[in-house]
Amino acid sequence: ISDLGLSICQHYNIRIGSIMIVMNIVENVSLRKHSAMRLGGETRFFAEAASEDELKKLVDWAKEQVVPIVVIGEGSNIIWRDEGFSGLVISNRITDRQVLDEDDNHMTIRVGAGEVWDSVVEWTVKKDLSGIEFLSAIPGLAGAAPIQNIGAYGAEISQSLVELSALDTHSDDFITIKNKACGFGYRTSRFKTSDKGRFIITSITLRLNKAGPAPPFYESLEAYFKKHKIKSYTPRTIREAVIAIRAIKLPSPAKVANNGSFFTNPIIPKNEFAKLQQKYPDIKGWPHGDNVKVSAGWLLEEAGFKGVHDEETGMATWPAQALVLVNEHANTTTDLLAFKQKIQTKIYQMFGIVLGQEPELLP
């Protein structure tokens, strides 16, 4: 036992049935280190899995010990409760990059769940492939991308994903799940809803285009291209534009404690949006099927939450983007949730809209 009260088991002998195996498991680990918001309690056990074999052994051990498991990446979209977690947190570090197939128009690649997402995007852009360049500079690992169905500037991971591989913790088998079976929606999937916690993603397979991206683009991208007199649209120019725009609007989680955009853009019926337009002519929204996707950032700015510093909770909103909640000197997740509630209450009072939280609250 160290002076910090941590029991570090560098060679942890664990019996699964009649088989003795060795794994590295750390006890009583602060979860603040594993969330970009840097809040939360402790986990009873923590381990990293660098292969499917290690992952399977850790899951088997947890079942033998009758302790729950949570699998994470870098923690960029995670908020931990103050109570901590009584089970095993597994950090997925399975890496792999392969070109599986290629023809005149497309290239299909497979990426390990533990790969840094933005490094994967950079890798594909260097190959002059189009499809995920709009998702540049999104924090996190590749395995988390389908869970959240990450998206930006009109693109979503679901548009490029062919299938994924995962460990089914119900059957203890490694399986393949096709795109149509993932239950993708706006910033969601079956892995976040109906089957939350069941599947541990180990790799994703993407089909990318050799043809370059074509306009029209999102308003902010169009403005960037116009300002910089860019008329040639390639995966590289899109990536450079996205990185530049995000650098202005969003703080780096490595430097400022935040989870990126904290609220999703609410989707409301067209008639409700029309009523809001009568009262707020400048309200921003985009067609979304038979509904309208409303700009959550506009709602927060209109409600006066841009660049707010809340001394009571120690939380703030980022000056360049009100959607980003920043931990300035909050001590607990309770502080964060209290600040979140202040925002949600005022937005509902003004617009009759309930804002949904994007980062996942665990466990």
Tokens of 309: 């510093």
- Is the C-alpha dihedral spanning 188, 42, 202, 177 positive or negative? negative
Is 261 labeled as catalytic in the residue annotation?
A: yes
Is 358 labeled as catalytic in the residue annotation?
A: yes
- Burial pattern 153-167, b for ≥16 Cβ within 10 A else e, equals bebbbbbbbbbbbbb
C-alpha span between 201 and 42 (Å, rounded): 24
> 97 has which bridge partners?
111
C-alpha span between 244 and 238 (Å, rounded): 10
Nearest Cα neighbor of 157 from 146, 141, 166, 165 is 146
Side chain identity at residue 276, one-letter code: L
C-alpha span between 257 and 359 (Å, rounded): 13
Active-site entry in 81, 187, 198, 236: 187
Q: Are the CB atoms for 69 and 90 separated by under 8 Å? A: yes
Q: Which residue has the tokens 């010990």?
A: 65
Q: In 3-state terms, what secondary structure has residue 67?
A: coil
Active-site entry in 54, 261, 302, 360: 261
The CA distances from residue 132 to 22, 49, 100, 124, 142, in Å, are 39, 26, 17, 8, 12
Active-site entry in 42, 115, 133, 358: 358
> Which residues are catalytic, by number?
187, 261, 358
